[in-house]
């Protein structure tokens, strides 16, 4: 799989402007905006499977603030590629044309109890096309570090805004996955807040589970025909 990384320099002044914030959500109803102080963040964009014989072309589009959601999207792309598809993994803001794709997976990290705004805007602005394609959603959030029925309900509710904005889209599946809390990317104040709330630092991603979800989903996307 070829790798093309887009690096964003996150400056401390971006926090004051409302940018450069990592999307983190705990199990609490209070969701804190968390600034990233990392000087260099890589956002994964990859392609694979171009040489497969007559491949179905699949897009995995994602939104992220600190880069970790990209590895989740990449794991899904690997799984779909292993099933014979040609897969592009892209940041949602870099997707300019849905014409080449026969199926789409869209996902995002969570901020303030919902997908990042660029993910919702992508789905809303492309609703006509996406409503005719096999599609799945995924959510990456700290809420899912403990996979309980209550937390799954909370994580599913993070999709309410996009469901409202794009009601014609009926995803074949919704994947709910845990994210990352990296104190090195937080200010001292926000480190203290999360520690006080009892949220432990850690990488809670399970790439094997994410690949498994995509593999199980594969037949519904790769074999399905676009709707007229």
- Render pLDDT for 214-225 as a digit per residue (tens, 0 to 9): 999 988 887 666
Would you place residue 154 in the very low, low, confident or very high pLDDT band (cuts 50, 70, 90)? very high
| pLDDT of residue 189 exceeding 70 | yes
- Which position has the token pair 């949602």? 92
**164: in domain:** yes
131 lies in some domain: yes
Tokens of residue 78, six digits: 């690997």
Handedness of CA 148, 153, 157, 162 (dihedral sign): positive
Q: Is residue 228 part of a domain?
A: no
Within a domain: 66: yes
Q: What is the CATH number of the domain that holds 146?
A: 3.40.50.360
Q: Does the pLDDT value for residue 166 go beyond 90?
A: yes
Is residue 84 domain-resident?
yes
What is the helix (H) or strand (E) element at residue 48, kind and residue range? strand 41-48
> What pLDDT band is residue 70 in, cutting at 50, 70 and 90?
very high
What is the rounded CA–CA span in Å between residue 110 and residue 65? Answer: 9
Domain assignment of residue 49, yes or no: yes
In a domain, 198, yes or no: yes
Residue 135: inside a domain, yes or no? yes
Are 139 and 110 in contact by the 8 Å Cβ rule? The answer is yes
pLDDT tens for each residue of 93-135: 999 999 999 999 999 999 889 999 999 999 999 999 999 999 9
- The interaxial angle of helices 207-222 and 68-82, nearest 10 deg, is 50
Which of 24-28, 68-72, 180-184 has the weakest average pLDDT? 24-28
Q: Which domain holds residue 175?
A: 2-222
pLDDT of the residue at 25? 44
The count of structural domains within the chain is 1
């Amino acid at each position: 799989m070829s790798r093309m990384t887009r690096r964003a320099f996150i400056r401390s002044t971006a926090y004051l402007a409302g940018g450069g914030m990592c999307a983190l959500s705990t199990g609490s109803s209070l969701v804190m905006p968390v600034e990233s102080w990392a000087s260099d963040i890589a956002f994964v964009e990859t392609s694979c499977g171009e040489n497969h014989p007559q491949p179905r072309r699949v897009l995995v589009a994602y939104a992220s603030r600190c880069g970790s959601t990209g590895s989740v999207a990449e794991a899904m792309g690997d799984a779909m590629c292993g099933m014979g598809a040609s897969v592009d993994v892209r940041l949602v803001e870099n997707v300019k044309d849905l014409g080449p794709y026969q199926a789409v997976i869209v996902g995002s990290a969570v901020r303030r109890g919902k997908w990042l705004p660029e993910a919702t805007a992508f789905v809303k602005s492309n609703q006509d096309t996406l409503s005719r394609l096999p599609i799945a959603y995924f959510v990456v959030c700290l809420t899912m570090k403990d996979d309980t029925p209550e937390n799954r309900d909370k994580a599913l509710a993070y999709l309410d805004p996009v469901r409202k904005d794009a009601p014609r889209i009926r995803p074949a599946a919704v994947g709910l996955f845990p994210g990352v809390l990296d104190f090195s990317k937080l200010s001292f104040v926000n480190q203290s807040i999360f520690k006080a709330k009892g949220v432990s630092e850690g990488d809670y991603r399970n790439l094997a589970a994410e690949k498994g979800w995509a593999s199980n989903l594969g037949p519904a996307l790769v074999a399905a025909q676009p709707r007229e």
